[in-house]
Amino acid sequence: MMQFPQIRLQSTFAQTEIRTQQSKLEIEQPKSELSIQQPAAELSIDRKPARLTIDQTEARADMDLKHISRRIEEAAQQGFQDWLAGLARVSQDGNELMMIENGGHPIVDQAKRNSESPMLDFNIGWVPSAGSVKLRYDPGKVDINWKTNRPVIESQINKPVLSYTPGKAEVSLKQHPSLKIDFVNLKHVGINYEQSI
């Protein structure tokens, strides 16, 4: 059997390796800050108290409980009135005596009139008299003022915090290419000479 020479080629392809690192994005959102202040409402009350006035001056006078100044004033007025009445009576008596020649009995009439007490008329009376106590009432006043204050609102929006790590790709040669050559049944034949290669 004849063996043919052979050349055997064994090749290996190159292999590349790619290592990737993904990009990374981190977002942190700080909370917004909110401040609310509510000032208290302002309330003011201005009050004028009620007042009740009771005047018993006339009632006390009806019971003869008069103040000394009023007694002096009334005594002075009464003295003045009595003086005027006496002056009128003396004047009237003088006029009657001047005209005695006209007849009549003026001296007897005057003596009788001046010696008799006057007739006093009196009916049912009330002590103190009705309406002598005077009442006066002032209801007072209440003024209420209020003021509502608006709330003070302050807000602060915080920006998001971004952190970004870019991705990358690393390319490397995982396996180098190779070529392996083998010779089979390859001989060199010379003169009386044969050698396997």
CB burial string 159-189: b at 16+ within 10 A, e below: eeeeeeeeeeeeeeeeeeeeeeeeeeeeeee
Q: What is the pTM of this model?
A: 0.35
Domain membership of residue 149 (yes or no) is no
Same domain for 71 and 109? yes
Token code pair at residue 174? 């995982």
User: Quick one: pLDDT at residue 27?
Assistant: 92
Domain membership of residue 16 (yes or no) is yes
Same domain for 68 and 30? no
Query: Scanning the structure block, which residue is given the tokens 């059997």?
Result: 1
How many independent structural domains does the chain possess? Answer: 2
Domain membership of residue 158 (yes or no) is no
User: Quick one: pLDDT at residue 51?
Assistant: 92
Domain that holds residue 16: 1-34+166-197
User: Quick one: pLDDT at residue 44?
Assistant: 93
User: Quick one: pLDDT at residue 124?
Assistant: 66
Q: Mean pLDDT for each consecutive 10-residue tract of the chain (197 residues)?
A: 75 89 91 91 92 87 80 88 87 82 77 75 69 88 91 91 90 87 75 69
User: Quick one: pLDDT at residue 145?
Assistant: 92
In this structure, the strands spanning 134-138 and 141-147 are: unpaired
DSSP string, 121-141: ------SSPTT-SEEEEE--E
Contact between 159 and 6 under an 8 Å Cβ cutoff? The reply is no
Domain membership of residue 46 (yes or no) is no
Cis peptide before 177 (omega within 30 of 0): no
Domain membership of residue 185 (yes or no) is yes
Q: Final residue of a domain: which of 114, 138, 154?
A: 114
User: Quick one: pLDDT at residue 1?
Assistant: 59
